[in-house]
Amino acid sequence: MVVGDFAEERETIIVGAGPGGYVAAIRAAELGQKVMLVEREYIGGVCLNVGCIPSKALISAGHRYQLASSELFGVTLGKGTLDFTKTQAWKDKDVVARLTGGVEMLIKKHKVEIIRGEVYLHDDHTLRVMSETNESAAQTYRFENLILATGSRPVEIPNFKFNGRVIDSTGALNLTEVPRELVVIGGGYIGTELAGAYANLGAHVTILEGTDAILPNFEKDMVDIVKKHLKAKGVDIYTNALAKTSQQDDKSVQVTYTVADEEKTITADYCLVTVGRRPNTDEMGIEYTSVKVGDRGLIEVDNQGRTAATNIYAIGDIVPGAALAHKAFFEGKIAAEAISGDQAAAVDYLGIPAVCFADPELATVGLTVGEAKDKGIKAKGWKFPFAGNGRALTLGETDGFIRLVTDENKTVIGAQVIGEGASDLIAELALAVNSAMNVEDIALTIHAHPTLAETIAEAADMAMGFPTHI
């Protein structure tokens, strides 16, 4: 083949330096592989640059702003003020730049070769990298192993092209002002998180969700608490609402939608569209390889990330499963280990937690009671409220609960948390699910007092039949 005549040889090439790609590169290097990492845009990917990390920065800023204006605990600070320019500068410089710079340093520390450019596959062993700065410059490489970690991009819907005042999540994270009015189309993870963040920062927010509920991946009793908090912030939520058209000028955008067969119009400063993400598996030449791609653009892989081309692996948002950074982290490690010959390395998707940084936070791992029963498992849920926890009371955060899901042998097969610190509490529960712990293992673990983690022990006591504080 002509492209191979001038090809440079590489042992392992990884395409994409997002959470999955850079972790795979580091782990592969640690295992002795000679690694080249190709990235066309961001070191750290969407997550570190325009996703998980900057969104949490704005969420944290919103919480601080609300706290500064409250009279909770008898502390009165007066009306808080917000300099959003300084907020954005802090997010970009002290959070994002610091983190992405650290990641690049780690990659170089492990002697991973970093190449900037766009990848096009020619076959199962050859690819071409087009320079990001010089379109006429390109280099062909032959590889022994390849890990694809190209991530995803926001889905665009008809009549809402990302332009001007119709924005995607990246645009929402980089606004120069807090909108007076913000319309959010899509009430999933991203839409709900950013709706809550901007509501806390002072915007009036309207959520338009096309299905009958926001946050459809969480159980109703959890979502009801989030809805209560959103409405307390003045957020309007319309479900079964279909966004139809948008019209904009240099000052506002007008959104027309239908709900309950009635057409309505709302005018806002910006319209944020968050209806899902599309895997970046097109326009890179996958069709010239043996890799199989499904109808939704997701690459078919085994539990080590191996594709139909046995030397090519795929991880992260481009393979089936939830689009979660920590899922990509783990898949990257497993793929690197599989390349190094570890036959036992495998991804167990049941034990991967999911978190939504809404207000309050939601987290889940393993099976719900309903999912377990659908699989023919006799399951029961054990629910302990935050209102019965001393630390939650001292924080003024009593809305929420923790629920353990057990099978007939009292083995922990799932858990859900809604409330303050849910994103941290889920770690112990993920360990319980991954380790197939019995509730007795948790009940006999002494949890420090007073802490939110005591809610987990309390639920375990309930499952054992010896509840203490309920």
Nearest to 271 by CA among 132, 393, 156, 120: 156
Nearest to 175 by CA among 90, 86, 84: 84
CA distance 414 to 350: 9
- Per the document, the length of the chain is 470
Strand, coil or helix: what is 45? helix
CB atoms within 10 A of CB 448: 8
> Out of 63, 122, 449, 469, which one is annotated catalytic?
449
Nearest to 141 by CA among 127, 159, 155, 120: 127
Strand 262-268 relative to strand 166-167, pairing: unpaired
Which letter does DSSP use for residue 92 in this model? I
Nearest to 23 by CA among 335, 374, 368, 361: 335
Q: Is 37 left (phi over 0), alpha (psi -120 to 50) or beta?
A: beta
**Helix 19-30, helix 325-339: angle, nearest 10:** 30
Write out the E strands in 372-455. 380-385, 401-406, 412-418
Torsions phi, psi of 363, nearest 5? -150, 145
- Per the omega criterion (within 30 degrees of 0), is the bond before 19 cis? no
**Helix 19-30, helix 98-109: angle, nearest 10:** 30
Residue 405's beta-bridge partner residues? 381, 414
Nearest to 290 by CA among 308, 305, 272: 308
CA 289 to chain centre: 29
> 370 near 61, Cβ under 8 Å?
no
Please calculate the CA angle 326-320-348 and round it to the nearest 5 degrees. Answer: 55
Nearest to 405 by CA among 361, 357, 360, 350: 350
Residue 140's beta-bridge partner residues? 128
- Catalytic-residue membership of 449: yes
> 273 near 160, Cβ under 8 Å?
yes
CA distance 298 to 15: 16
So which residues are the catalytic ones? 449
